[in-house]
Amino acid sequence: MEEKLRKAHRDLKEKRGPGAEYTGWLSLPGRIDKAEYLRVKAAASRIRRQSKALVVIGIGGSYLGARAAIEFLFTGAYNERSLDAPRVYFAGNGLSGKQVQTVLELLGDADFSVLVVSKSGSTLEPALAFELFLERLERKYGKQGAADRVYVTTDAKKGALKARAVREGFETFTVPDDIGGRYSVLSSVGLLPMAAMGADTDGILLGAYQAMRALCEENVQNPAWRYAAARNRMYEQGKKLELLSIFEPDFRSLGEWWKQLFGESEGKEHKGLFPVCAELTADLHSLGQYIQEGERHLFETMLDVGEDRAPTRVVPGEDWAYLDGRSFYEINRQARLAAALAHADGGVPNLTVTLERADARGLGWLFYFFELSCALSGYVLGVNPFDQPGVEEYKKNMFALLGKTGGQDRQRLLSRIAERESQ
């Protein structure tokens, strides 16, 4: 794979590959807009002062990275913390009326702010949610008071949301023109909600910068090269799925971010590995049987952490005296090694990505590592890892069925649906 990776890396750095206009993330950690970053920090402080809750509205790359970071750093129970930070709720990432109603109920009478993240402002899911929460803000604080509690991350110059933000006086932050949504976590898209929750965004950016410097080397010892090579080699050998196995529940949303990054980047032209995520050891008691003895069309990437995040030790018991004095971390790590051996013996090749420390700097490193690996892997696969043409197909059908694009299109789709149902 060496020559393919060398070409992929040079095409990426020299902006010669497909989608080169969306590779701004590659150098982003070294060229952060300092003025905007200071505004991000100021807005985060204001949110923390004025609100007991923050509603983050966005879909796909507009929210997955921020949610992954918050859970990674503060655990999945982030809203139960007794720290000086607002509760955070995510909305606009689907069309479930129950979901938005639940968030409205959880807000109750608490003071809250809204952060909406959308490049264009025309994506249906966040647009509908934004109207709902803006109405609640305006009823509670009046139009001007509501405007002081709305924060918008969108295109720098154009789009429906940008125009509305200017018209109504919402504070705005920028989705960079040269960075697509799934690569935007280290921009204001991810940094503002992280900062509002009290995350060490300086540490995250430092880790990403260190990764950028370390992973620029064009050689086979580069971890991003090794991961991209392994993925493509497995694909060439007939594997169809990549299973990301995590061993900490707090990494679930990181797995969701990873799934979008690789699935949307490589799944085109009838190519690409299907990315799935499992939480072990819990899923060893559900998916474990399939992983061990099901169809041999998958390989596994295990995410390991090289430090004990919470030194909880086993309470002595008669049936597990051999574990007396050991930490859960040590036992969990042995379980990972045992699963790696068992799965390899069962015909599931696996590799391990080891994160030295699960802190802000480590998270920044991991974000950048996966982004670079994904871009390299996509170029080796022979696709443009920065577009997503297939995402629009369901939207065309949905808008036609809802009557937006004319009765003729709607009638045609209704006929097709009736035909399918009759079969």
pLDDT 10s per residue in the chain (423 long)?
999 999 999 999 999 999 999 999 999 999 999 999 999 999 999 999 999 999 999 999 999 999 999 999 999 999 987 667 899 999 999 999 999 999 999 999 999 999 999 998 889 999 999 999 999 999 999 999 999 999 999 999 999 999 999 999 999 999 999 999 999 999 999 999 999 999 999 999 999 999 999 999 999 999 999 999 999 999 999 999 999 999 999 999 999 999 999 999 999 999 999 999 999 999 999 999 999 999 999 999 999 998 888 889 988 787 888 888 899 999 999 999 999 999 999 999 999 999 999 999 999 999 999 999 999 999 999 999 999 988 878 888 888 878 887 677 888 888 888 888 888
pLDDT value for 60: 95
> pTM score, two decimals?
0.95
Q: In this structure, what DSSP letter does residue 316 have? A: P
**Domain ranges, ordered by start, for the chain:** 24-199, 210-381
Catalytic option among 98, 105, 285, 392? 285
Closest CA to 8 of 268, 379, 398: 379
Domain 210-381 - what CATH class?
A: alpha beta
Catalytic option among 125, 264, 266, 300? 264
pLDDT value for 82: 60
User: For tokens 């971010």, what's the residue?
Assistant: 257
24-199: CATH topology is Rossmann fold (3.40.50)
Edge-to-edge order in the sheet of strand 53-57: 87-91, 53-57, 112-117, 150-154, 171-174
Q: Is 293 a catalytic residue?
A: no
- Locate 388 and state its tokens: 């997503």
CA gap 266, 231 in Å, rounded: 11
Element (H, E) at 211: helix 201-214
Catalytic option among 297, 395, 396, 404? 395
Closest CA to 185 of 356, 29, 19, 373: 29
pLDDT value for 83: 67
210-381 shares the fold of 24-199: yes
CA gap 276, 338 in Å, rounded: 21
Q: Is 9 a catalytic residue?
A: no
79 CB-near residues (< 8 Å, 6+ apart): 87, 88, 89
Q: Is 264 a catalytic residue?
A: yes
CA gap 257, 189 in Å, rounded: 14
pLDDT value for 403: 83
The burial of 186, by beta-carbon neighbours within 10 Å (0-12 exposed, 13-18 middle, 19 or more buried), is given as buried
pLDDT value for 406: 66
pLDDT value for 409: 82
